[in-house]
Amino acid sequence: MVTKAGYSAELWPLAVYFAGALLLVTGLLGLSHFLGEQHRERATGQPYESGIAATGTARVRFDVKFYLLAMIFVVFDLEAVFLIAWAISVREDGWAGYIEVLVFAGVLVAALVYLWKIGALDWGTEAKKKGRGFSR
């Protein structure tokens, strides 16, 4: 149903939902502010990590190898998500789905072989001696 202003009359549940969510969030934040601990000791604002006192700055430069390894991990971790989704629907997909997942796995194996050949997975000193790897 459309009113004269052009807005649908069925939008009121959405407005009630947003108002309820806003009320809940502000209420919980206000409640935690008033009921939470209020202390101002000397070490309250200091960072704390697993019982070890922080030393130095947090702005340390990492070698590019760590970022490359993280990207490689994300790519091959997403592979697992797609393969799990395929495994759930394997009966409905039939042979076409099986061939598609074989092609998908083949592309990923080819990518892994390529990364291996260019030295993206070599971190040891032998890779540096051979001039391979990303530490040039």
The 10s digit of each residue's pLDDT in 40-90 is: 787 777 777 677 777 777 777 877 778 888 888 888 888 889 899 999 998
Higher-scoring residue by pLDDT: 57, 107: 107
Query: Domain extents for the chain?
Result: 9-53, 64-130
Q: In the prediction, which pLDDT does 136 show?
A: 45
Q: What is the mean pLDDT of the chain?
A: 82
pLDDT (0 to 100) of residue 40: 78
Residue 121 scores a pLDDT above 60: yes
| CATH superfamily placement of domain 64-130 | NADH:ubiquinone/plastoquinone oxidoreductase, chain 3 (1.20.58.1610)
Which H or E element spans position 76? Answer: helix 64-88
Rounded percentage of the chain residues whose pLDDT exceeds 70: 82
Mean pLDDT along residues 8-32: 92
Please state the rounded mean pLDDT for residues 1-12. Answer: 67
Rounded to 5 degrees, φ, ψ at 112 are -65, -40
Does residue 120 have a pLDDT over 60?
yes
- The answer to whether residue 133 scores a pLDDT higher than 60 is no
